[in-house]
Structure 1
Amino acid sequence: MSSNSAGPLAGQVALITGSESGIGRETARVFGRLGAAVVLNGLQAERLEHTRQALAAEGYQVAACVADVTDFAACERLVATAIDSFGRLDVLVTNASISQRAYFADMQPEVFRQVLDSNVYGSVYPLKAALPHLLQSQGSVTFISSISALNGMPSGSAYCAGKAALANLAHTLRLELADSGVHFGVVHIGFTQNDADKRVLNAAGRPVPIAHRPPRWQKSQAEVAAIIVRHVRQRRRRTVISALGRLILVVHSLLPRVGDWVVLLSQRRLRNFYE
């Protein structure tokens, strides 16, 4: 049982995709700390089980399911795990995705599709499987996007396109399901400290380390997770993490040419930031 059965989220069930590691794992930990039961998801069975055991040892109610979120049948099994384990579903956080480190002109078409599918169908399929239960609970859906979706980013074409699509998807769903009581929100994550073994895809589809990010620009995974959970609890439509993200949003909205000039300048002077 949860170590905080009287917490503010006691009785609720949260499913977080891509939660075997990184931000997803820490988001699951925050939900558990607040009393929710959590359902973990990932592709690596050993790592997923390690995370499940770690959270269970902390006293949280936790279940886990190995599932590829770009496979609808697998997503149906994932949602079934939540219902079979805890009897309901209140929160869906679609965090699982693949990123890239490759310029569009160099990318193999199948790599572009793989990255795009992970970011779009990796949110659409879990939601389609979960929606009947979320309608019943009048629950919450949060798509994890990126600040790079606000203005684009060189060497991130498929990733940026997929993350931008999630914002429009959330807006459309708010309109279609306005009377349902279900919350649809988007969190645009900024630069975050990554697990040491985190990898993204290069132009040929091979896993490579993520491009350099100055440590002073990065938030910890725990900080980001806390913001995500606060976003869910407040049922916010959009949360942009970091001052840089909010600056990008303002400049892109009001002075888009200035924003593009800054990005192009940084691309010339800080190539390791993109490559």
Structure 2
Amino acid sequence: MSKPTPSSIPGRAPVLGTAPPPARPGAFSGQVAIVTGSESGIGRETARQLCQQGAAVVLNGRNPERLRQTCEAFEAAGYAVVSCLADVTDYPSCQRLVATAVQAFGRLDILVANACISQRAYFVDMQPEVFRQVLDSNVYGAVYPLMAALPQLTQARGSVTFISSISALNGMPSGSAYCAGKAALSNLAHTLRLELASTGIHLGVVHIGFTQNDPDKRVLDAGGQPVPIAYRPPRWQKSQTEVAGIILGHIRRRRQRTVISALGWLILLVHTYFPRLGDWFVRTSFRRFRHWYE
């Protein structure tokens, strides 16, 4: 974990013995965010845009070198950041993650539960421990950070965003554990909105579609080995910058659900009103474009 820097938030006492970083105006000025899985990919870009719009951000990941490089790049850009090396499927680590935000910046307003593991494997081939690993990363990787952060978020009447996928809306061949975990987040958010209505906390879900990935991004195969992500047609992909911008708009407007891309809305529409047609389309496209899934 990098050395904490103090809060740049107006009216907040800085950490003793340190000098506050310069304030940055923007839509999230004065707010503190944790973005899990922000050492790379969509999480990193979401954290970057939060910083650019005035937030102080706790960066998180499991790769020490990649997290260090990201944190140093953000610090060089003048952003108010600290980093916390933590596995979000481990509750004590999540408690430490939240403590890092409070120690460095004095409060917590925003949680973006982005960290997860994906897969390229058919259910019939998967080892039980691999299925559990993928499912745990998507479910407990969102549940544990929220449990740890809930007192701070309640005090701030803050915002929680679960990063899901359009594949959670209608399933995806070779993604059973991933789709199950992402689908669970929607029901979790709905249930918590009912339970926590009196707190004023915003609970939302963003369903992400095909997105350009870092060249070194890996997912798990049936035996738990990292393999490259499946091919996606470039014309169907949004950039990480575009996706992060949509996530920030979702947080700013405190939306309950955001579905990214026309394809995502089409899947949602067909799944809701014409489920058999949706299943037929997925099976047909799977036979035609099997190489996308393998």
TM-score range, shorter chain: over 0.9
1:152 to 144, 162, 171: 171
> Equivalent residue of 2:198, what SS?
coil
2:268 to 244, 249, 252: 249
Residue pair 1:3, 1:58 contacting (<8 A) in 2 also:
no
Instruction: Give runs of aligned pairs for residues 1-275 of structure 1, distance below 5 A.
Output: 5-275=24-294
CA distance, structure 1, for counterparts of residue 22 and residue 209 of structure 2: 31
CA distance, structure 1, for counterparts of residue 24 and residue 118 of structure 2: 36
What runs of 5+ residues in structure 1 fail to find an aligned partner? none
Match of 2:54, as an amino acid? G
CA distance, structure 1, for counterparts of residue 293 and residue 26 of structure 2: 42
Q: How many percent of aligned residue pairs carry the same amino acid?
A: 72
CA distance, structure 2, for counterparts of residue 4 and residue 253 of structure 1: 46
What runs of 5+ residues in structure 2 fail to find an aligned partner? 1-7, 9-20
CA distance, structure 1, for counterparts of residue 104 and residue 116 of structure 2: 25
CA distance, structure 1, for counterparts of residue 23 and residue 52 of structure 2: 6
CA distance, structure 2, for counterparts of residue 148 and residue 8 of structure 1: 31
Q: Tell me the CA shift for residue 4 of structure 1.
A: 5.7
Map Cα deviations across residues 177-212 of structure 1 (whole Å, 9 max, x no partner).
111010000000000000000000000000000111
Residue pair 1:14, 1:92 contacting (<8 A) in 2 also:
yes
Q: Tell me the CA shift for residue 117 of structure 1.
A: 0.1
The structure number with the bigger radius of gyration is: 2
CA distance, structure 1, for counterparts of residue 75 and residue 170 of structure 2: 40
Q: TM-score, normalised by structure 2?
A: 0.92
Q: Tell me the CA shift for residue 147 of structure 1.
A: 0.1
Residue pair 2:24, 2:52 contacting (<8 A) in 1 also:
no
CA distance, structure 2, for counterparts of residue 190 and residue 107 of structure 1: 24
Q: Tell me the CA shift for residue 59 of structure 1.
A: 1.2
Q: Tell me the CA shift for residue 273 of structure 1.
A: 1.0
CA distance, structure 2, for counterparts of residue 49 and residue 10 of structure 1: 24
Match of 2:116, as an amino acid? S
Q: Tell me the CA shift for residue 93 of structure 1.
A: 0.2
Residue pair 1:3, 1:33 contacting (<8 A) in 2 also:
no
Q: Tell me the CA shift for residue 8 of structure 1.
A: 2.2
CA distance, structure 2, for counterparts of residue 8 and residue 257 of structure 1: 43
CA RMSD between the two structures = 0.9
CA distance, structure 2, for counterparts of residue 9 and residue 104 of structure 1: 42
CA distance, structure 2, for counterparts of residue 127 and residue 118 of structure 1: 14
Residue pair 1:146, 1:188 contacting (<8 A) in 2 also:
yes
Match of 1:18, as an amino acid? G
Q: TM-score, normalised by structure 1?
A: 0.99
Q: Tell me the CA shift for residue 3 of structure 1.
A: 6.2
Q: Tell me the CA shift for residue 56 of structure 1.
A: 1.2
Q: How many aligned positions are there?
A: 275
